[in-house]
Amino acid sequence: MIKHDILIVGGGLTGLRAAVGLCDRFDVGLVSKVYPTRSHSIAAQGGINAPLANNPDSRDDTWEKHTFDTVKGSDYLADQDAAELMCREAAPIVYEMEHWGCPFSRFADGTIAQRPFGGAGYPRTCYSADITGHVLLNTLYERAVAKGVKIYPEWFVTALSIEAGQCHGVVVLDMRTGELIPVAAGTTFFGTGGYGRVFQHSTNALINTGSGIGMAYAAGAPLKDMEFVQFHPTCLIGTSILMTEGCRGEGGYLVNNQGERFMQRYAPTAMELAPRDIVSRCIQTEINEGRGFEHPLGTYIQLDLRHLGAQKIQERLCGIRQISIDFVGVDPVDEPIPIRPAQHYSMGGIDVDIRCASEVRGFYTGGECSCVSVHGANRLGGNSLLDTIVFGKVASRTIGEDPEVRTRRPDERALLKLKEEVERTLRKLASPGSERPALLQAELSAMMSEKVGIFRTREELTQALQKVIEFKERYRSVGVTSAARHMNYELTGAVELGYMLEVAHTIVLGAILREESRGSHFRLDFNTRNDADWLKHTIARMGSDGSPAISFKEVTITRYEPKERKY
Amino acid sequence: MIKASAYTFKILRYDAAEPGNAPRFATYRINVIPGLTVLTVLLRIREELDGTLAFRSSCRSAVCGSCGMVMNGEIGLACRTQVATFESDTIILEPLPNLEVIRDLVVDLTPFWQMYEKIQPYLIRQSPVPDKEIPQSEAERQRIDQFVNCILCACCYGACPVLAREPGYVGPAAAAKLARFVLDSRDERPGAALETVDDEKGVWACDTVFRCIDACPKEVRPTDGIVDLRKAILKHRFHKLLGKSEP
Ligand SMILES: Cc1cc2nc3c(=O)[nH]c(=O)nc-3n(C[C@H](O)[C@H](O)[C@H](O)COP(=O)(O)OP(=O)(O)OC[C@H]3O[C@@H](n4cnc5c(N)ncnc54)[C@H](O)[C@@H]3O)c2cc1C
């Protein structure tokens, strides 16, 4: 057994920021199933929002305006005190990252460059070309190395221990040796990222299974607002690799097969820079109504950058250009990029308060796996990188100020019991079974993309629920090829699939219950927002029968009364 | 161009936990279509044919640096390498050289990360930071651009002929990372910090045969960084000789 006062799971931006904030004063261990720089944060492209007012068009930008845009973008489901906290902290954390060496792009006056992004009243998205996640994650990893954070790379967390309302740590599989190791900690923090791979068409990395969310839920921590799934408008056909919102921020057009910039019919003012939920629905509508282009990989819409010119494309969107050339053979300098919407971000997640504390003693979360909630029903581009770093920092503050942090004793017996359970699970997964985990996962994700997508109906959601229940039943027959535990990706994948099914279950059930349309959740059979009945968060807890039981929580409203969203 | 509807993939398999079983090639026949990447093939093999195949992968879009390997003798990322780009319809996949194999295509990256940590891969400041950003001109930012792009995939480490004969060599990626900081207008590390790479296992060991540049999937030129570091070291030695304090 290994022990730390504070255990951090996740080597993405959130986990690293939390660790950097705590390691000077406490005994901290950080566990990640991949080397930290392989975390999905690395893939973020477009930028991070902060009202620095560096752009000539944003001189009177303020954190209040940023908060308003965030709340409006969230379709008024965000908790306004939390959104305010995030936006107040935005400028300080961007400066802090810069001081730690983050190589942002620069304006001619030497200040951090900022570009326009969707749903924002001002150009406030700070960026480094189109590799903003890469530079931020490298910078935080560098800080972690500088401070000597104890990191356990390629340690896969298999289960979370919660007993008697307290968290006692996790059971990990050391992927290199195949050993099962209980890690005891009085305080556990999850920055385990999103669940994109629950959907077939997703911009997310293959490792984004949402297992952290699933295992917290299975251990008894409640989830919040799981029905809110962001679909990004512009993803490469075939692979669904993201073409950053920065493409439109830099002036890119969306064009249908009539040669029309169709956004003028839907959002005449914001045009291509309307928020993501809206643009995704518009693109899907164009495709559904026959105004898309046909391709063997599917029907698509064009993202046209040609008018920006070769130089600007090369300077600001060089990564996008390379991806487009590598993966669909299209050079955006000469041809429009073929795109369509795909799953991109998890607004919902583990239910925590504005201090990152869950209802379980000693268990905290932040970043994409958690739901504070700052993004409500729809996240604005550039606000997620912000969320990860701000709430990684907030968590380190909360944990650092917790009077019990050094004295809270985890129950090691509970942890050893959990280890035995995991042992049994692994043995069962390695005994002959009729279902291959990857194929069952493929069926699950195809079903989720088909029935729980941009446009939802009760009929399809009900079918989806039946399917999830059926898949869960079939999961009992999953068997992997080899019982060896080291670098056995089929085995870890099978463990993750169990958690993905739980995550899917909560998404589907939340989507069925929420009989309104708000942000990313659009019901064709209830196609307007209904504040009277639904201005509230959904909370999912695992019931005694293993199905989610849903309850509700008030939304915190401080200064922005819910209004209709127009762009 | 696709050469045939089905390709043969020969993958070097070995498990360090079973050292008695020598490395061997396993052969798989896979139907291919245009646009198919080597990573997709690997995933398909693991998912449908052989669940025991070990390889790393994550972002599948050439940014996370997980899937470096040797493909028909060339080092690169499996996720951005299309099957159709090879001359033949037989594709041989091997783990990155210069690193011990843990299992199949998964190598032990410990020495790679040790070198990375050794060079102090972080911005070092002496002067206090301003309230806002430390100003940096576009040209200064440009100067570090190529080194900033490094994704730490270790392709250069695998390609380096110096590392093949001298495992203690700092290697191209760590040197490029150090250059990224030394060239950063905001970095204030003392010249003495360069002494960690000022020996026969440091930047002077480079043969300047540019294998690292060929292998880099991100168009980083580690050799440029090594040349810059050599210059900086000479300058530092010169200052020391004159007993002058650092500029
Ligand atoms: C392609 C793409 C582009 C994006 N661009 C932007 C952008 O421009 N601006 C913006 O604001 N947002 C953007 N986002 C969103 C943003 O990047 C993510 O929301 C954010 O990086 C998530 O960070 P995180 O720290 O929460 O999780 P991650 O970076 O996903 O890290 C999760 C960590 O948890 C670990 N982990 C997970 N499960 C386990 C387990 N079972 N055991 C052990 N370790 C585990 C992983 O190893 C990893 O280290 C983008 C997202 C995508 C997909």
Look at residue B187 and tell me if it is in a domain.
yes
Residues of chain A found within 8 Å of residue B149, distances taken between Cβ atoms: 131, 134
- Which residues of A are part of the catalytic machinery? 232, 248
Same domain, A213 and A321: no
Query: Domain ends where: A401, A432, A467?
Result: A401
Measure CB to CB from residue B102 to each of A34, A326, A487 and give the nearest one: A487
Which of B47, B61, B140 is facing A438, going by the closest CB pair?
B47
Please state whether beta strands A125-126 and A2-9 pair in parallel, antiparallel, or not at all (unpaired).
unpaired
**Does the beta-carbon distance from A106 to B57 stay under 8 Å?**
no
CATH number at residue B43: 3.10.20.30
- Tokens 């920006």 belong to residue: A308
| Protein residue with least CA distance to atom 23, ligand 1 | A41
CB contact under 8 A, A323 and B113: no
More confident residue, A183 or B35: A183
Q: How many other CB atoms sit within 10 Å of the CB of residue A427?
A: 10
- Tell me, yes or no, whether B247 lies in a domain: no
Residues A132-145 have a mean pLDDT of: 98
Q: How far apart are CA A273 and CA A292, in angstroms?
A: 20
Q: Tell me the C-alpha distance between A46 and A55, whole Å.
A: 16
Q: Do A490 and B137 touch (CB under 8 A)?
A: no
A8, A138: one domain: yes
A217/A361 same-domain check: yes
A104 and B134 in contact by Cβ < 8 A?
A: no
DSSP three-state, residue A491: helix
* CATH code at position A384: 3.50.50.60
- Span A229-241, mean pLDDT? 95
Give the mean pLDDT of A53-81. Answer: 97
Same domain, A179 and A266: no
pLDDT the model gives residue B245: 64
Indicate the number of domains in chain A: 3
Q: Does A167 touch chain B (CB under 8 A)?
A: no
Atom nearest to A9 CA in ligand 1? 44
Are B10 and B102 contained in the same domain?
yes
Q: Do A397 and A545 have their domain in common?
A: no
E strand residue ranges, A355-449: 363-365, 370-371
Query: Is a pLDDT exceeding 80 seen at residue A5?
Result: yes
Is-cis flag, bond preceding A373, omega within 30?
A: yes
Report ipTM (2 d.p.): 0.97
Tokens standing for residue A301: 């819409």
What's the whole-number average pLDDT of chain A?
97
Q: Which of A401, A420, A443 is the last residue of a domain?
A: A401
Distance A11 CA to ligand 1 centre (A): 9
Whether B72 and B125 share a structural domain: no
Q: How far is B241 from chain A (nearest CA, A)?
A: 30
> Is B120 found in the same domain as B80?
no
Residue B137 shares a structural domain with residue B162: yes
Give which of A546, A518, A522 is closest to A533, Cα–Cα. Answer: A518
Identify all chain B residues contacting A205, using CB atoms and an 8 Å cutoff: 58-60, 64
In this structure, are residues A252 and A339 in contact, taking their beta carbons and an 8 Å threshold?
no
Q: Has residue A107 been placed in a domain? A: yes
Quick one: B145 and B228 in the same domain?
yes
Identify whether residues B69 and B139 lie together within a single domain.
no
Tens of pLDDT, residue by residue over B111-145, are 999 999 999 999 999 999 999 999 999 999 999 99
Task: Please report whether residue A137 resides in a domain.
Answer: yes
Quick check: A409 pLDDT over 80? yes
pLDDT at B1: 75
Looking at the fold, whether A136 and A28 belong to one and the same domain comes out as yes
Chain A nearest-CA distance from B240, in A, is: 27
Q: Is the pLDDT of residue A314 over 60?
A: yes
**DSSP class per residue in B172-237:** HHHHHHHHHHHT-TT----GGGGGGG-STTTGGG-----HHHHH-TT---HHHHHHHHHHHHHHHH
Q: A209 — contact with chain B (CB < 8 Å)? A: no
Residues B177 and B75 in one domain: no
Domain final residue pick, B59, B86, B107: B107
Q: Which helix (H) or strand (E) holds A254?
A: strand A253-255
Is residue A57 included in any domain, yes or no? yes
Residue A223 lies in a domain: yes
| CATH number reported for the structural domain that contains residue A446 in this entry | 1.20.58.100
CA A194 – CA A212 distance, rounded (Å): 8
Ligand 1 binding pocket, CB closer than 6 Å? A 9-15, 31-34, 36, 39-41, 43-48, 132-133, 156-157, 191-194, 203-204, 208, 211-212, 242, 244, 344-345, 367-369, 381-385, 388
Give the pLDDT of residue B242. Answer: 87
Cβ–Cβ below 8 Å for A38 and B66: yes
CATH of the domain at B182: 1.10.1060.10
Are B119 and B226 part of one and the same domain?
yes
Q: Are residues A335 and A358 in the same domain?
A: no
From B50, B52, B122, residue closest to A101, measured CB to CB: B122
Taking CA atoms, what residue in A is nearest to B127? Answer: A99
- For A49, the 3-state DSSP assignment is strand
Distance CA A188, CA A70 (A): 29
Q: Which residues form the domain of B52?
A: 5-107
Say how many CA atoms lie within 13 Å of A402 toward its Cβ. 26
Note the pTM of the prediction, 2 decimals.
0.97
Is A99 in Cβ contact with B129 (below 8 Å)? yes
Say which residue, A566 or A61, is predicted with more confidence: A61
Spatial separation of the C-alpha atoms in residues A377 and A77, rounded to whole Å: 6
State which of B61, B85, B107 marks the end of a domain. B107
A562 belongs to a structural domain:
no
Asked if A37 contacts A161 with a C-beta cutoff of 8 angstroms, the reply is no
**CATH at residue A249:** 3.90.700.10
What span, in angstroms and rounded, lies between the C-alpha atoms of B176 and B89? 36
* Residue B247 pLDDT: 53
Residues 6+ apart with CB under 8 A from A319: A45, A129, A130, A131, B63
- Residue A497 C-alpha, separation from nearest chain B C-alpha, in angstroms: 13
CA A385 to ligand 1: nearest atom: 11
pLDDT(A116) > 70: yes
* Domain shared by A219 and A181, yes or no: yes
pLDDT tens digits, A510-563: 999 999 999 999 999 999 999 999 999 999 999 999 999 999 999 999 999 999
Q: Residue B246: its pLDDT value, please? A: 59
One domain, residues B62 and B125: no
- Sequential DSSP letters for A462-485: HHHHHHHHHHHHHHTTB--S----
Q: CA dihedral in degrees (A89, A113, A266, A529; nearest 10)?
A: -10
The stretches of chain B forming alpha helices (DSSP H) are: 38-44, 110-118, 138-143, 145-148, 155-159, 161-165, 172-182, 211-215, 222-241
B36 and B150 co-located in one domain: no
Residues A536, A538, A543, CA angle at the centre, nearest 5°? 150
Q: Is B114 within the bounds of a domain?
A: yes
CB B175 within 8 A of CB B162: no
The distance of B34 to chain A (nearest Cα, Å) reads 10
Same-domain pairing of A199 and A263:
no
Helix A13-22 with A383-401: angle, nearest 10 deg = 30
Q: Are B97 and B136 in a shared domain?
A: no
Name the band, by pLDDT with cuts 50, 70 and 90, for residue A250.
very high
Tell me the pairing of strands A349-351 and A370-371: parallel
Cα gap A463→A457, rounded to integer Å? 10
What is the residue type of A506? T
> Does position A326 have pLDDT exceeding 90, yes or no?
no
Kindly state whether residues B27 and B127 are assigned to the same domain. Answer: no
Regarding whether A495 and A465 lie in a shared domain, the answer is yes
- Ligand 1 atom having least distance to the Cα of A46: 8
Same domain (yes/no): A194, A263? no
Which stretches in chain B have pLDDT values below 50? none
> What is the per-residue pLDDT across A488-498, written as a single tens digit (0 to 9) for each?
999 999 999 99
Q: Which of B107, B139, B166 is the last residue of a domain?
A: B107
CA of A368 to the centre of ligand 1 (A): 7
| Among A343, A359, A381, residue at a domain's last position | A343
Tally of structural domains, chain B: 2
Give me the domain span that covers residue A456.
Answer: 412-554
Question: What is the DSSP annotation of A502-563?
Answer: HHHHHHHHHHHH--S-BTTB-BTTB-S--HHHH-EEEEEEE-TTSSEEEEEEEPP-SS----
Residue B101 φ then ψ, to 5°: -85, 135
Q: Whole-angstrom Cα distance, residue B101 to residue A208?
A: 26
Does residue A202 share a domain with residue A68? yes
